[in-house]
Amino acid sequence: MTQVIKTIAEMRARVAAARVGGKIVGFVPTMGALHDGHISLIEAAVKRTDYVIVSIFVNPTQFGPGEDFHNYPRPFEKDLAICQKHDVDAIFAPSVNEMYPRETLAWVTVDNLTERLCGESRPGHFRGVATVCAKLFNIVHPDIAFFGQKDAQQAVIVWRMVADLSMPLKVVVCPTVREPDGLAMSSRNVYLSPEERKDAVRIYESLVRCQELIEAGERDTDVISGQMYEILKQMPGTKIDYVSICDAETLEELGQVQGRVLIAVAVRMKSVRLIDNILVDTPTQ
């Protein structure tokens, strides 16, 4: 039976009671509109922990002006059914006013990591993400929090925040879940027109091509990203925000593929912005 919890006070009390019972607390923070990607995180949490909390909170402080905060999908009943089916113990679904009862002055920032990649076209976004994650961790007090590799930069930033601020939890990053044709699962995929949905597969194709090139021995990131652009350009009316081949921990752009490398893509299709990435391990020289 999944409990739906709306207040910080009740959430704290429930977790404290679970902890007194000796349970390990697992946490999957989401903005709702749950898809198979989220479900894979929930399944990982159910497998590894004893008391699983899913938060559903569309966080206003991570949306910029003109972004889709108000239109972001909020199918709560469907989300609840998914959580029930997958043995979630509690949904934490606070109101905006419960989370932000006054103007927020305190923020968590993560230097360097927040400005790169998606940070360039979404100023303030990752500050909002880091801050709401810090708040949620302080409320939910999990032993393990589960994030998806699809939001690679978010995962790196949260991991670094937890390490630098000595937060008492472990961050686990789970593999990206994809549609049969390769498109990464995203709550924003529902916005795509049928035509756009068909084109969107190019994103994954460009990443697969990248991986093939690296496996074939190519190390020059200009050569690799050039071939990725060729594939991405086949999406009519789509603006390519970035193709990045960067260090998986520092997100610094690389000239040569080396070590643990993140290859990340962001494109804008009309009003929808889609991101995807893969991780590739290569020998360090």
Q: Which residues of the shown chain bind its own copies in the complex (CB under 8 A)? A: 8, 12, 99, 102, 104-113, 130-131, 134-135, 138-139, 141, 160-161, 163-168
What are 257-263's contacts with CB under 8 Å, separation 24+? 257/214, 257/218, 257/219, 257/220, 257/221, 257/224, 257/282, 258/219, 258/282, 258/283, 258/284, 258/285, 259/284, 261/214, 262/152, 262/156, 263/207, 263/210, 263/211, 263/224, 263/228
* Alpha-carbon span 227 to 223, nearest angstrom: 7
Specify whether the CB–CB gap between 154 and 122 falls below 8 A. Answer: no
Residue 136 or 228 with smaller CB distance to its own copies: 136
In angstroms, what is the minimal distance from the CB of 164 to its own copies? Answer: 4
Residue 10 or 68 with smaller CB distance to its own copies: 10
In angstroms, what is the minimal distance from the CB of 221 to its own copies? Answer: 24
In angstroms, what is the minimal distance from the CB of 29 to its own copies? Answer: 13
Specify whether the CB–CB gap between 224 and 238 falls below 8 A. Answer: no
Catalytic residue list = 38
In angstroms, what is the minimal distance from the CB of 251 to its own copies? Answer: 11
Residue 91 or 130 with smaller CB distance to its own copies: 130
* Alpha-carbon span 213 to 217, nearest angstrom: 6
Count other C-beta atoms under 10 Å from residue 47's C-beta. Answer: 9
Residue 11 or 245 with smaller CB distance to its own copies: 11
Residue 25 or 130 with smaller CB distance to its own copies: 130
Residues in the chain: 285
What Å distances lie between residue 193 and 197, 239, 272, 276, CA to CA? 6, 16, 10, 19
In angstroms, what is the minimal distance from the CB of 158 to its own copies? Answer: 10
* Alpha-carbon span 113 to 136, nearest angstrom: 21
Residue 110's identity, in one-letter code, is V
